[in-house]
Amino acid sequence: MTTRSLLLLVDDHELVRELTVRLLKGSGHEVVAFGDAAAAVELARERADELALLITDVSMPGVTGPELAAQVREHCPGLPVLFVTGFAAGGLASQIPPDAAVLEKPFTREDLLAKVREATDRPG
């Protein structure tokens, strides 16, 4: 039996993505990160049984965070989602599922880890 422990991170901003990966890995999390939605959806399809959480930027070119979450959840129903936003989600706020956690940028390591715990502790 596989334990769900893998965090899937999607952010189109390379520096934000790299920093977030460093913070999460430094706290003992296993993380796979992508800058685009297509690769993330493919990983979700291939490793659905390992995923514990999707962490995604809300506003990205092409596919928004809420759209990505819906696509990933097709392969991982009930997967917890943590949306990260630099502008309180703007007009996309209404598209964020009510069962998702939200983290506003800029954030500290402690903020990030608290939201990861909150998101993975939510009923799914």
Render pLDDT for 17-33 as a digit per residue (tens, 0 to 9): 999 999 999 999 999 99
Residue 72's pLDDT band (cuts 50, 70, 90): very high
Question: What's the one-letter identity of residue 17?
Answer: R
What is the rounded distance in angstroms from the CA atom of residue 58 to the CA atom of residue 86? Answer: 8
Mind listing the domains of the chain with CATH numbers?
Answer: 6-121 (3.40.50.2300)
pTM confidence score: 0.92
Note whether 84 and 57 are within 8 A (CB).
yes
Q: Helix, strand, coil shares of the chain as percentages rounded to 5?
A: 45, 20, 35
Q: How far apart are the first and last CA of the chain?
A: 19
Closest to 56 in 3D by CA, of 107, 111, 103: 103
- 40-62 pLDDT tens trace: 999 999 999 999 999 999 988 89
